[in-house]
Amino acid sequence: MTIHRHPPAVGWRAHVETQRTSKGTVLMRTPTSAVSTIDLDVYDQSVRDEVVLAADAVHATRLRVDYLGKIHRSRDAQGEHLTAAPVAGKQFVVEVAGGKLVVTRDGKPAPDDEAEAVADDYKVMLDPDVFPPGAFAQPLAVGKESPAIEVALTTLLQVSNDDAIVDAPRAVLLGAEGDGPDRSAVFQVEVALAHVLGGGPPIRETLQLAGEWRIALEGGWPTRVTVQGPTSYSSADESQLACEGRGEISLDLRRTYGGGAPGS
């Protein structure tokens, strides 16, 4: 089986949907406080449309992004809390300039909270080597591991999660499924990931993920990722915090390609 890698062209369109669910329980204690319990029950969803406005020989360098929706939902003892992200219902242009991502809205720099949210979704634009041009030069064999997919999986996780430690990535080709531009090679993937959670106390999250990663046979771009697995929590700085916890996480990402898709 061969994946034909095509660089994105101007006008290439994609519809992207992501869902992430995280549940668990964490016990924490600081040097000045008693033990407290945090019950995690979080759901994040993002729906957006992309159009390539500029590209080089490897990847898109400028995108128009329409956020059709982006929500964060959490549950605790007080009930359910639903928050819409500041980017919801808005259109942005995100591009690589001077080695960083620049986000604009209506031709002007986007407000800081919006720019941060968009840049967080498109960190991968700063790393053109997720799938180098020769990544799929050799045919793939069903039932065999794919080093190119394993390297790409490691790179994506490191780009998406600051200071991430990725261990033991494994990707085995199961076969091909789907029709038209969505016909994809299906890989069974496994990987371990550890990183420090941002925006709060120094808690390290360790994940053991397993699932499927689908790559379009014509184009070489992801069409779906579904992974899930157990999580554990520990202190990233024991002088500030003692903690332990367990939970589970699931992630579902779908990309549907429209007019101008590579290989179409």
pLDDT tens column, 140-176: 999 999 988 898 888 888 877 777 889 989 999 999 9
Count how many domains the chain has. 1
Tell whether the model's pLDDT for residue 56 goes beyond 50: yes
Bridge partners of 4, per DSSP, are 218
Q: Is residue 95 part of a domain?
A: yes
Phi/psi-derived region of residue 41, left when phi > 0, alpha when psi is between -120 and 50, beta in every other case:
beta
Tell whether the model's pLDDT for residue 123 goes beyond 60: yes
pLDDT score at 41:
93
Distance CA 202, CA 184 (A): 39
Q: Is residue 108 part of a domain?
A: yes
Q: Is residue 151 part of a domain?
A: yes
- List strand residue ranges (DSSP E) for 78-134, in order: 79-84, 91-97, 100-105, 108-109
Reference 155, options 182, 125, 183; nearest CA is 125
Residues 6+ apart with CB under 8 A from 135: 5, 148, 151, 152, 220
Q: Is residue 264 part of a domain?
A: no
Tell whether the model's pLDDT for residue 40 goes beyond 90: no
Tell whether the model's pLDDT for residue 264 goes beyond 50: no
Q: Is residue 263 part of a domain?
A: no
**What range does the domain containing 157 cover?**
4-257
Tell whether the model's pLDDT for residue 60 goes beyond 70: yes
pLDDT score at 148:
86
Residue range 69-75: average pLDDT?
Answer: 93
Q: Is residue 262 part of a domain?
A: no
Q: Is residue 137 part of a domain?
A: yes
pLDDT tens digit sequence for 77-94: 788 899 999 999 999 999
Tell whether the model's pLDDT for residue 260 goes beyond 60: no
Q: Which two tokens stand for residue 90?
A: 């808005």
Q: What is the CA radius of gyration of the chain?
A: 20
